[in-house]
Structure 1
């Protein structure tokens, strides 16, 4: 009888822990959503154009990203008179790189692993908002310190098993850091992006400063110049050009 009661107690304790953890996760997600802007406003966004600037080895570079939500994504970067284009069109992708950067100067089909990695960029919002929309599993792991400030650490697991760690400020409920692993050219690499300087655009919040891993090594700071919501975008810009 004693063993039975102990087993029952442990079972109830486990169930309570799961419920409390689920409630905590939902609470953090709810407060994060409220901080970023209402779900209705995010749902109303059908297209977006964002312009950024950053520096690599002393070169000032500008980029333009165009998104038709759920349909297509295209980023154009101009470096020393050469244009680099990355585009996702539905379930396929293509890119164009100059010869000096390992490309052919012609549109190339993007490898499947890179298409998978970039597919989420057809959607907009934070890493958590997109993960919820895509049906990923989100779990609250802990509350800890990051650079001296309290943060919530959440683990996001996608259908394919890929995991990312998302750090949410305990005071603002904005995402301040995302880490994970991604496959590139057959190799698994660590990724890290730090977010700050959140600003409102039509009632929705975007991080205007992002610090990310530089392809040249170290970290690179990307500053957002403008965010345009619901501009007219021609869907043809996402299609791979034919020769």
Structure 2
């Protein structure tokens, strides 16, 4: 009877262990596809330009990141300059298109959400592994006629699902339910245009769909620079 009980426990436990190993294996293969954990960890600061299009309107932006800590976006829209900054657990913005010419503190929920963008684009699963976020393999499914693995990641700002190409192990998309200012909605991103820069293969195009926007935003990333010198004062809220 005792032997039978042990055998039964083993049968129940083995699939669970295999399932967890499979999720970890997918993330490890994604990290390899990116260029390796050492390459990712070596990037401490990042700068890049973005061109964006939404509803026929073109925008440009410059982003400066201290990985895991700070983010500054300077965006040009219809001749207006919009600045948004996250630094640690605080943030601020200047948005003349909303009638503000002076810096205003960002709400805590917006800071929390934007803090997730202080990492190198495309390295979300590597970050999840490094930060020991809970990860669950939901399963394998078809997205746009491609086999993908669906990984559910519980991040500090909320739960997100990442879709990993079953052949290349590159992230093809993600979706997450976000809450801001008492409202919640589903945000979706599609990644493409993977390019290799200094040994790291990361996406250069992103299609973003958000309930806060009337249509999809198509973004192209250019002039990516790793480890530029960044003056920390650019993140300080002007007085």
Which secondary structure state, in structure 2, belongs to the residue aligned with residue 122 of structure 1? Answer: coil
| Paired position in structure 2 for 1:96 | 94
Q: CA deviation at 1:57?
A: 2.8
Partner of 1:33: 31
For 2:21, the equivalent position in structure 1 comes to 23
Q: 1:216 to 1:121 in 2, by over 3 A?
A: closer
Contact 1:96–1:103 (CA<8 Å) still a contact in 2? no
Which aligned pairs between 1:130-209 and structure 2 lie closer than 5 A?
Answer: 130-159=127-156, 162-209=158-205
Number of residue-to-residue matches in the alignment: 237
| Partner of residue 67, structure 1 | 65
CA offsets, 1:23-45, max 9 Å, x none? Answer: 21121111100000121111111
Name the Cα RMSD after superposition.
1.7
TM-score by length of 2: 0.93
Name which of structure 1's ranges 9-18 and 190-199 shifts more when overlaid on structure 2. 9-18
Whole-angstrom distance in 1 between the partners of 2:150 and 2:50: 28
Q: TM-score, normalised by structure 1?
A: 0.91
Gaps of 5+ in 2: none
What SS does structure 1 have at the residue aligned with 2:179? strand
2:37 and 2:126 in contact (8 A); partners too: no
Cα offset, 1:11, TM superposition: 2.2
Inter-partner Cα distance in structure 1 for 2:60 and 2:168: 29
The change in CA–CA distance for 1:225 and 1:10 in structure 2 (over 3 A counts) is same
* Cα displacement (A) at 1:14: 1.9
The match for 1:226 is 223
Measured after TM superposition, the shift of residue 197 of structure 1 is 1.0
What's 1:119 paired with? 115
2:56 to 52, 58, 62: 58
Superposed CA deviations along residues 168-217 of structure 1, whole A, max 9, x for unmatched, are 00011000010010112211111000001100110011211100015442
Q: CA deviation at 1:6?
A: 6.2
Residues 192 and 206, structure 2, Cα contact 8 Å, conserved in 1? yes
